Structure 1
Amino acid sequence: MKKPLLATLAVVVVSFVGALVLSVVFGGPSAPSVMASANNPFDSVDYSGLPELSNYAARDGQNLGFRRYDVANPQGSAVLLHGSSADSRSMHLMAQALVDAGFAVHALDVRGHGASGAKGHVAYVGQLEDDLQDFMEQVQPAAPVTLVGFSSGGGFALRVAGGEHAAIFDHYLLLAPFVSHEAPTYRSGSGGWVNVGLPRYVALAILNQMGIKQFNHLPVVSYALSEQARQSLTPEYSFNLAENYRPQADYVEVIKGIQQPTQVLVGAQDEMFYPAEFVDVFGAAERRVPVTLVEGANHVGLTLMQPALNALIAAMSELRDLDNLRSKR
């Protein structure tokens, strides 16, 4: 009886390993069709006044890029995190609006994007948190400091806000944040923006649970960029970057863990997420997280359109005023 049982077990193990190997090798993402609403709006952006890149040194010795927007006697600072595939240039109009309102701004090229390391890659999950700590220690933006993240950058800001490093920022402002593919806010494929190589993603997740991380450099996500944008932006994410530039898997616990003052802005016409669902999702937070739907703004429009920029400044001012109230007590 033992020999047939062992033979069956061997077949199961070999089949499982074979399926993992095939998924890792052939289960990667294909490029989705170009998404006009994510590409075209940036064609009309005036980039005059875009600051040159500055750099700071991460703990691994890599120089990482950011753009500094200075203002005399700032009433606080914003650290900006761009969306998936993008870089600091995409935050230029937002940065200018914040400067006009009296806030100093630092727009990051998050590692794996723009001028910060190899595009689409980080060395390990958690490296982006280490980079953010290194940035804050070296650059020391004027207080109070708000971490402002858009889309995937908003998801990463949520990761920080609900995690062990939350106190390095005074507040958080999440702009149409990616919460989870399992959250009710999520449209399938982010409305056409994302193709996930699900077989490879699942296989790598299983291997990581087994302590095998040698294949985490492989791409698992592809974005709906135009051919021109693919040349300058980041068309694909490795497993490590895709896992790091988002909240932790248990997004409900992450939201419950928010302790610093936090607000959420979402375009009422967002085509990548379901805007109305954000209210209930962030209702899980133990401290109140206001959610504002900006009429007339779609996903990318949340960073470019004047009504959205007005809502951004209003939210930043409310967060600043909270600090003023606390300092008077």
Structure 2
Amino acid sequence: MGPDVHRMLKKIVVFATLSVSAYLMIAVGLILSQWPTPIAPGETLEFTSLTDQGDQQNTTSELIAYRARDGADLSLRHFPTAAPTAPLAVILHGSGWHGAAYIPVADYLSRHCGSEVLLPDLRGHGVAPAIRGDVGYIGAFEDDLADLIAAYRRPEQPVYMIGHSSGGGLVVRFAGGDHGSVISKAVLLSPFLKYDAPTMRDDAGGWSHVLVRRMIGLTMLNKIGLEMLNGLTVIQFRFPRKVLDGPQGATATTGYSYRLNASFAPRDDYLADIAELPRFLLLAVPMMKPSTLHCSSR
């Protein structure tokens, strides 16, 4: 190998080193340039239905635990049914809150539609999560849900997955992932697909405050396999003051880490995840009251 080749290789190495260094400096600079700060409460979402009335209607709606593959005990509410051929319906809550908001719906499906219903508090949410607003890795929700279904599903029992808002996005992500084949049907209620999807309102209608520069910096690091900063907060939620100061205020999850936020939404190519959905019903409307629901075998 001649001296000209050596000089060329040296230039290539120097250029590559400088390029990687510049890339890392930009990414880290973006991350360090933005930190979570207190945000004003918002009134963009309706929370008046978030009560414990469902607990008074159905004694089986108390929180119980199931064991995930990493040994963590995660919380859920279980609504059994006497119907021998009942499908297993899994209801996924939206961002910032937990399964308690959907107790009346789960109760209705169990009592009147003959469905066995699982209503989990997703990891990082609920009454007393190990770490609020965070998960261990991107994709943790999918594994947790697969473990939940495996713990309760009877042989050949069809699985219906129902998701509201970010929970709807998680249904889409689940369908496009390694465990998606277990879903027989899916119901999406105002699902979150992606920040730039045509269904998305600016700033989620004022509900969310995204730390955009930090999000970009962390995305850059993840593109080259660097995940050590994925526990940093990248999004905050504007809960109404009456919720934060109310009896359930301590159960609100007001911010998400990068890895939890990524776990809660479809992948970047969300259309590919959507393509993996089974036969499903898309309802682009606010969450319905149980009295407006109608059971159907279709």
TM-score range, shorter chain: 0.7 to 0.9
How far 1:49 moved relative to its partner?
3.3
How far 1:42 moved relative to its partner?
2.8
CA distance in 2 between partners of 1:220 and 1:187 (Å): 18
TM-score by length of 2: 0.83
Larger relative contact order, structure 1 or 2 (CA cutoff 8 Å, min sep 6): 2
CA distance in 2 between partners of 1:24 and 1:173 (Å): 36
Letter in 1 for 2:75: G
Letter in 2 for 1:65: S
CA distance in 2 between partners of 1:69 and 1:250 (Å): 35
Q: How does 1:244-263 map to 2 (within 5 A)?
A: 244-258=263-277, 260-263=278-281
The structure-2 alpha-carbon separation of the partners of 1:231 and 1:116, relative to structure 1 and needing over 3 Å to count, comes to closer
The answer to whether the Cα contact below 8 Å between 2:51 and 2:100 also exists between their aligned partners in 1 is no
CA distance in 1 between partners of 2:270 and 2:43 (Å): 29
Are 2:128 and 1:128 aligned? no
Greater alpha carbon shift after TM alignment, 168-177 vs 13-22: 13-22
CA distance in 1 between partners of 2:20 and 2:69 (Å): 41
Aligned residues: 278
Query: Which structure has the greater CA radius of gyration?
Result: 2
Are 2:103 and 1:92 aligned? yes
CA distance in 2 between partners of 1:10 and 1:135 (Å): 46
Q: Give me the identity figure in percent.
A: 30
CA distance in 2 between partners of 1:28 and 1:49 (Å): 43
CA distance in 1 between partners of 2:145 and 2:180 (Å): 11
How far 1:29 moved relative to its partner?
4.4
How far 1:234 moved relative to its partner?
0.7
TM-score by length of 1: 0.76
Letter in 1 for 2:45: A
The structure-2 alpha-carbon separation of the partners of 1:92 and 1:14, relative to structure 1 and needing over 3 Å to count, comes to same
Of 74, 90, 93, 1:82 maps to 93
CA distance in 2 between partners of 1:27 and 1:188 (Å): 20
Unaligned 5+ runs, structure 2: 1-7
Of 130, 138, 143, 1:117 maps to 130
Q: How does 1:163-174 map to 2 (within 5 A)?
A: 163-174=177-188
The answer to whether the Cα contact below 8 Å between 2:52 and 2:100 also exists between their aligned partners in 1 is no
Of 304, 310, 322, 2:289 maps to 304
Of 35, 38, 42, 2:45 maps to 38
CA distance in 2 between partners of 1:92 and 1:186 (Å): 27
SS in 2 for 1:234: coil
How far 1:231 moved relative to its partner?
2.5
Q: 1:245-298: per-residue Cα shift (whole Å, max 9, x none)?
A: 11111112222232x22111121xxxxxxxxxxxxxxxxxxxxxxxxxxxxxxx
Of 26, 37, 56, 1:19 maps to 26
CA distance in 2 between partners of 1:134 and 1:6 (Å): 46
The structure-2 alpha-carbon separation of the partners of 1:123 and 1:252, relative to structure 1 and needing over 3 Å to count, comes to same
Are 2:249 and 1:264 aligned? no
**1:239 corresponds to which residue?**
258
The answer to whether the Cα contact below 8 Å between 1:216 and 1:239 also exists between their aligned partners in 2 is yes
